[in-house]
Structure 1
Amino acid sequence: MKKLVRALACCALISSLAACVVTRPPRSSAPAAARPSARELGAQRYRQVNERIDYLNRRIDARVDSGAYPPPDAAPLHHRLDVIRREARDMASQHGGGVSEEEQRVLNHELDNAARAIGG
């Protein structure tokens, strides 16, 4: 009788272990996140450049408001940013609404120089 109980207990234990090994995790039906296209990346770079130009324009205005320099000194700085924005727009028009990595690097270099001129 004891042997029968032990044998049944062992069978139950082994079958429960086997069930753990055999069971597969459910598959996820969600698709992997799609990478943005080259066009979307170019448009994103263009937006980043424009956002930075907007930020620098606000910085110029804040420095004029705080009296750091007079309004006539701000006009050439605003003009410089307008020229950079025009360059970015021209570059974007050649690439379907976005800029390449190299063009963004060039524009950011120009914006770095403008930011140094603005001070802060």
Structure 2
Amino acid sequence: MQTRKLIGGLTFALLAAGLAGGAMASESQWDKNHPRREEVNQRLANQNQRIHKEVREGEISHAQAARLHREDHQIRQEERVMASHDGGHITRADQRALNQQENAVSRQIGK
């Protein structure tokens, strides 16, 4: 009887530990898909497409496109650094700063 209780207790402990580990895994997945990060990265992807379109249409040169891509790349790198400092997500202040930088690049596209 003692052995049965011990096995039942160990099974419960292992099950509880597995559930806690699953919760931690979903938290890290949530951080990767955090809405503020998704919004910033979606804007960068849209700007990338706009840059390519402007080059195809002859609105900007390849050199101008390369400069804009570099600026976007720097913004993306900054977003990743910010996220690494805040547990996988960015704060509202981080998002605001990144959006301001994206706005500056956006205004340069198609001038």
TM-score for the superposition, normalised by structure 1: 0.63
The answer to whether the aligner puts 1:59 opposite 2:53 as a matched pair is: no
The answer to whether the aligner puts 1:46 opposite 2:37 as a matched pair is: yes
Separation (CA, whole Å) in 1 of partners of 2:34 and 2:88:
6
Q: Which runs of 5+ in 1 are unaligned?
A: 1-36
Q: Name the % identity.
A: 35
Counterpart of 1:105 in structure 2 is 96
- What CA RMSD, in Å, does the superposition of the two structures yield over aligned residues? 2.1
Separation (CA, whole Å) in 2 of partners of 1:78 and 1:53:
10
TM-score for the superposition, normalised by structure 2: 0.68
Contact kept, 8 Å, 2:59 with 2:110, in 1: the verdict is no
Deviations 1:11-56 (A, max 9, x none): xxxxxxxxxxxxxxxxxxxxxxxxxx9xx58821011100000000
Larger Rg: 1
Number of equivalenced pairs: 83
Q: Which has the larger displacement, 44-53 or 66-75?
A: 66-75
Runs of 4+ aligned residues of structure 1 deviating over 6 Å after TM superposition are none
Q: Which runs of 5+ in 2 are unaligned?
A: 1-26
Where in structure 2 are the equivalents of 1:1-120 lying within 5 Å?
40=30, 43-119=34-110
Which structure has greater helix proportion? 2
